[in-house]
Structure 1
Amino acid sequence: GSGSWSVKQTLGVAMAVASGGVMGYALMQPKAVIWTAPALVIIVLCAIKSEATTAILVTGLAMAMPVAVWLAQRHPSAAVLSVWAVATGLAALFLLVTILAPLVFQLLGKAPTLTGRTDIWRALAEPIAERPWFGWGYQAFWTDTSLTSPVDRVESIMEGFRPPDAHSTPMDIRLQLGLVGLILIGLTFVRTWLQILLQAGREPAMMPMIGIFTAITAMAFTESIGLYPMDGMTLIVQLVIVKTALSAWNRRDRAQSKPELV
């Protein structure tokens, strides 16, 4: 791929996550502006240099979400505006990826296949349907090198191209863990989001979490994130989930005058 790194998506995802975290930290620690401001400039420039369109859009979203929550918390009059801004942004994003997708891709000079992703997703429909409930097993699908490997069939459909992953977290979960796994992991994501938003007003550390998890959630639809061991993004996902859970437990323990976990 083009861009500063050999794999532009890797740079794009990293910058999107970093932008949300740094923006959240900037709101949490305004005095740190001496380094957060230049850091954000560098991050945005790197995201643009990656030439990954999705990552650039998500970078903007990841920086905007903590700001919207921050405004809603500190200025009640801005709460309605923030909610409407987020709702309008989500509605616009939905239109861009559905009804207006052909026009948008034409204007951007991009292929409507999302750089071949939709071709991969169509090729994966058969193996997903073959084992719909529990999938092929964690880390068992893409690493299968047997003579009857299902990846060989995907490669055949893709005319010789062997994708390294599904380029979609929900799709990869369906492959590896089936519908049951998708529901369980989906519930974990929803629970984490609820904890982040509910604690944002009381726990300053939730501001970076909002930015980081916004980027992770948005990028998950076009990249496989948090599914592979010994991967930096997997560690970040796990840290966010654990941090929000521990913060919730500590708040409960404080209310009951119990020792805190951390």
Structure 2
Amino acid sequence: MKAQSIGHLWRKLEPGIVILLLLVFSADVDLAPFLRTGVNIFAYVIIYPLVLGCWKRFLYVCTRDWTLLLLLVVALTSFFWSVAPEVTSLKLRALMRTMMIGGYLAARYTPLEQKQLLSKVLILSGFFSYAAVLLLPSYGIKFASADGDLGWTGIYGFKNGLGTMMNLGATLALLNFLHGKKNRLLSLVGFCLAVILIVCSKSSTSLISLASAIALLPIYKIMKQHYKLRIVFFISALLLSVSVAILALTNLDTIFTNFLGKEATLSGRQPLWGAIVSVGNERPWLGYGFGGAFWNSPFGLEAISRNPLGWPPLDSDLTKFHSHSGFVELFTQLGWLGCSIFALNFVFVFYRVITLAISTKKIEYFWMLQILIIFVVFNYTEAPTILVANQFMWVLYVSICLSTAIQKGRIKRESQRRNFQKINCPVG
């Protein structure tokens, strides 16, 4: 009886524990060193009972996408060729914990339940960020650029940490307002509050990713049409999107300089990327090892010295530096092997999300599509979130990857069962 009571209490507390874990475990959250240590210990301690509560399901779910498993295996084995094995070893432990959280979400909750859980995390993120800005401005407002401009960061260390979370919150709130059946006014208010945080963060990447995610909204309407109309409208929308993308790419100077206040070279990132790739090509197939080993070695310093813009300074501490691109960073860590496996995995995930969104017409799958767009935009121009330890976006990606694999398999089995019943159903 006592064991049953404890189990019942744990099930009641479990969602709240998960919400707290997702809110504070991310390295983007700006915490004092002793608090960060406490959060890391809490995450290590709590993830094991969470997983043990559904361990059979967890093991099953985590083996549903072989490309994700293969990517993890390559990251783990990179310890043996890492140029900074002590750094790689430390980061690998954190990566395992991060991916366990994503796997747990996929095993324990349905996509709809995950959406409901994450909405609470995003609401709390916005609430505490407003509190930080209004009540503790020295904590919630920080330098947003090298020019000394101030921008809102909320409870996060950098503007893009806040921008990423509010992108997720804004897209979900707008989706609920346009297509939901309950609390539509609250959803509209939430969307407006999230957009205010994004604008005040002065993160142009956040604005671009939000615009890209919102631009997908007409496609959700198309997905709900009759099959033949859906195909026609979908192809038309795709052609329109490609046309807009081509137009944007051919007018980068105008867009970045006049509207976003940046150069077409993305604030000097392209020369930096070229310098990094030139050093990365010295070990192109396997890279320099997972977890920023590249930046904890003389190779990182060599890449900086090749940057024609001279940024960052050669006497800078590069141990926490990164490429300002998730794709370039993955190349430095796992080379073309890691990049190829991730590209294959992303294609599989993207295909599953689209097919599930079309076949089920459910909001949660369309939101996954928007998350993937936000994921790509941020990895192109900002902080890496691909295969990154203690990163909220990577938890979401792992969860989406495994959840869609499970749901796709379930729908396939149900379809096969219905077809089998039709074949074996006696006529007359």
The answer to whether residue 349 in structure 2 is matched with residue 192 in structure 1 is: yes
When residues 32 and 194 of structure 1 are mapped into structure 2, their CA distance, relative to the original with a 3 A threshold, is: farther
TM-score (norm 2): 0.54
Q: What is residue 152 of structure 2 aligned with on the other side? A: 4
Matched letter for residue 209 of structure 1? M
Instruction: Note the C-alpha offset of 1:92.
Output: 2.4
Q: What is residue 154 of structure 1 aligned with on the other side? A: 303
For the 8 Å contact 1:19–1:62, the answer to whether it is kept is: no
Does 154-163 or 3-12 show the bigger shift?
154-163
Instruction: Note the C-alpha offset of 1:36.
Output: 1.9
Q: State the distance in 2 between where 1:21 and 1:143 align.
A: 36
Q: 1:62 aligns with which of 197, 213, 219?
A: 213
Q: What is residue 413 of structure 2 aligned with on the other side? A: 253
SS of match in other structure, 1:135: coil
Instruction: Note the C-alpha offset of 1:169.
Output: 1.7
Gaps of 5+ in 1: none
Q: 1:144 aligns with which of 287, 296, 299?
A: 296
When residues 192 and 21 of structure 1 are mapped into structure 2, their CA distance, relative to the original with a 3 A threshold, is: farther
Once the two structures are superposed, residues 78-122 of structure 1 have per-residue CA deviations (whole angstroms, 9 ceiling, x without a partner) of: 76455434433343234423x322232331332333123223202
Counterparts of residues 33-44 of structure 1 (less than 5 Å)? 33-44=184-195
Q: State the distance in 2 between where 1:79 and 1:36 align.
A: 30
The answer to whether residue 266 in structure 2 is matched with residue 114 in structure 1 is: yes
Q: 2:371 aligns with which of 190, 212, 227?
A: 212
Instruction: Note the C-alpha offset of 1:35.
Output: 2.7
Instruction: Note the C-alpha offset of 1:75.
Output: 3.4
Q: What is residue 173 of structure 1 aligned with on the other side? A: 330
Q: State the distance in 1 between where 2:411 and 2:179 align.
A: 19
| Structure of greater Rg | 2
Q: State the distance in 2 between where 1:165 and 1:236 align.
A: 21
Instruction: Note the C-alpha offset of 1:152.
Output: 1.6
Matched letter for residue 221 of structure 1? Y
TM-score (norm 1): 0.85
Q: What is residue 168 of structure 2 aligned with on the other side? A: 17
Does 187-196 or 74-83 show the bigger shift?
74-83
Q: State the distance in 2 between where 1:140 and 1:58 align.
A: 26
Q: What is residue 224 of structure 2 aligned with on the other side? A: 74
Instruction: Note the C-alpha offset of 1:257.
Output: 4.7
When residues 221 and 29 of structure 1 are mapped into structure 2, their CA distance, relative to the original with a 3 A threshold, is: same
The total of aligned residue pairs comes to 253
When residues 193 and 155 of structure 1 are mapped into structure 2, their CA distance, relative to the original with a 3 A threshold, is: same
Q: State the distance in 2 between where 1:94 and 1:208 align.
A: 25
When residues 227 and 242 of structure 1 are mapped into structure 2, their CA distance, relative to the original with a 3 A threshold, is: same
Once the two structures are superposed, residues 131-152 of structure 1 have per-residue CA deviations (whole angstroms, 9 ceiling, x without a partner) of: 111111221534525xxx2112
Instruction: Note the C-alpha offset of 1:184.
Output: 0.9
Q: State the distance in 1 between where 2:344 and 2:391 align.
A: 22
Q: State the distance in 2 between where 1:214 and 1:225 align.
A: 13
SS of match in other structure, 1:178: helix
When residues 228 and 22 of structure 1 are mapped into structure 2, their CA distance, relative to the original with a 3 A threshold, is: same
Q: State the distance in 2 between where 1:72 and 1:62 align.
A: 15
Does 209-218 or 72-81 show the bigger shift?
72-81
SS of match in other structure, 1:3: strand
Instruction: Note the C-alpha offset of 1:28.
Output: 5.8
